[in-house]
Structure 1
């Protein structure tokens, strides 16, 4: 994937903490994370975009509005957000598979690996899931352990629990 000429960082409040929204000059989402993980976002941006640092600015209204609609219960609004991000072909397959898990449903890591086209690569699918730069938009919170347990989530287990409850998926 090509490197954009410009990155823009916006901040948006949400019920589970301030969101950090990184878009490119074309208005495409490049990364989304939580304010208390800004160091992780910085590391990701350096890895994928080298010396290019984001300028403070506003995310396109379509992205901000879609995120707000999601938190208002319009879960399909996430599907309207255009995204592009650097990563391996397998990571992209995993992140795309995440976007196809309907709100209110959960899958296991083995199912994620199967949907990404490599059913035996369960551990690799877990790593790609953990490296997801598009929190909420590529809903990695919808992936749970084989036993139904809430496993790690980059935004913290409490946020994962909140997101799943918000979508009506499950409660511990």
Structure 2
């Protein structure tokens, strides 16, 4: 009986420590990747300023070709919205809407993953000589949920590779034209 009490007490102490430490972890999950495209910003911008255009270079749609996509709002720019649904766990379901669009410079979107939370994604375009450096960023507020804060530590590992793949796809697509 003493052994069971000790094991339970140790378990409670470990869980309490993990919860306490979680409040010292970052309150945001941040992912950012960049690539230089050998083309001017006005050649890159249309591919990030339209949810429909992202189909051609998205790193996630190849995981589940059966993903259901629905678009609403204008075809480009502010208000352009994508809703997607997939049974594949690495694709999931959600919506993404363009909430800011500065021609040839910036596109900011708001993502809603339903119960999994919300996030902001950005495409920042910087002219570099004859090319354009495209930085794809992601930021999500984790709140006070201890599990979310621990998961936030892994977000770069989970999403960073996909961002690199997507940017490589974008580069190839733009440079082919």
The structure with the greater share of residues assigned to helix is: 1
* Greater RCO structure (CA 8 Å; 6+ sep): 2
Structure number with higher strand proportion = 2
**Fold match by TM threshold 0.5:** no
- Highest CA radius of gyration, 1 or 2? 2
| TM-score, scaled to structure 2 | 0.29
